[in-house]
Chains A and B, each alone.
Chain A
């Protein structure tokens, strides 16, 4: 947990809407990791095994909890502590990142997140249970979609500032 704490928290962030959700996801991940510790596959890298369990828990949690989010107070939102002087800019960037990630379906999001975390295609394939070639194809499509989305967003922002 300590060795992969950053990865686990980023997975929890990507599949939760607020701090309470994130805590629940992290706690659930810890419980499941403890339960399956004996079943660790020696052919898998430790990071891949941890990512598998974490993604399985996060995706299932989100699907289970989705209905409870309807009607939740607007103030109960995602919060990440940031005391740096550029906190405002970082918040905007984080909001854009959140929007881009939220636009992806669960498995596409998992694939993108693993790629951004620096896993190679073979490792991503091991975690998700698909081939490395399939990972490459899907990552290319996801990248294209994200790129289009970011370009559209920046053009929209530029239009707003020139008005």
Chain B
């Protein structure tokens, strides 16, 4: 028992001996005045990008809704416009939720609480990105057509063969499936650029898994220990 206590003290003594050096200004301050403010800029950029996404999504949604009355007489076209409207509304809503959550991050909250909030924010971001990718497969052709119809007052959607439209959606879906398989194979490769990494992680769902694991880890940390195993010093 005495030996154990002595060993335990070793770590505390090591810390006590090193603490002064580790807390010395000379160790850290020489470059402090010239460093790049990564975090500050990062947070503002994150909020600005989310706000831009919400504004853009809302604008596109308004234009799509403008096109809706023109297709009321043709159920097939109406279906296409309605699907486009629902997907744009869904993605815009996710971006709005993300922006709202990012605004509410409180750095003075207890560590477990804030880390949980940040991981949930990350999870929401990854899911929004994933849905935007998945939605892109469905929207990549109908959306420009619907927007063009709404903005020019033309009837381009009428002239498009719905079979051809569906074939393009299937092509997009097949492409996404292929990309998913490819991303699973290459996701662990090092030395990728930031954008490639983001795309690969989103397609392979790796960062969704990571964030979910991290939230589970936080829950486990915050969970009260069973009374029988709880030990007081």
Chain A residues close to B by CB (< 8 Å): 5-7, 9-10, 12-13, 19-20, 22-24, 26-28, 31-32, 35-36, 39-41, 49, 52-53, 55-57, 59-61, 64-65, 67, 70-71, 79-82, 90, 93-94, 96-97, 100, 105-108, 110, 116, 121, 126-131, 133-134, 136-140, 143, 146-147, 150-151
Contact = CB atoms under 8 A, between A and B. Distances in A.
B166 to A, nearest CB: 39
Contacts of A55: 111
Among the interface residues B26, B38, B113, which one has the most CB atoms of the partner chain A within 10 A? Answer: B38
Interface stretch (B8-16, B150-158, B171-179): B8-16
A92 B230 CA distance: 35
Contacts of B112: 107, 128-130
A127 B109 CA distance: 8
The main secondary structure of chain A at its interface with chain B is helix
Nearest to A65: B38
A151 B32 CA distance: 38
B24 A107 contact: no
B10 A150 contact: yes
Interface residues of B, number: 57
Contacts of A13: 22, 27-28
Nearest to B114: A56
B107 A140 contact: no
B110 interface: yes
Given A59-B111, A93-B14, A129-B113, A28 B23 contact: no
Contacts of B31: 19-20, 23
A39 B106 contact: yes
A26 B31 CA distance: 11
A16 to B, nearest CB: 9
B17 A129 contact: no
Nearest to A67: B197
Nearest to B221: A107
Contacts of A146: 11
Contacts of B28: 9, 12-13, 19, 22-23, 26
Given A70-B190, A129-B113, 17 more contacts: A9-B27, A19-B27, A24-B39, A26-B28, A26-B32, A56-B108, A59-B115, A60-B114, A90-B17, A97-B14, A107-B115, A107-B217, A107-B221, A116-B16, A131-B224, A133-B232, A138-B225
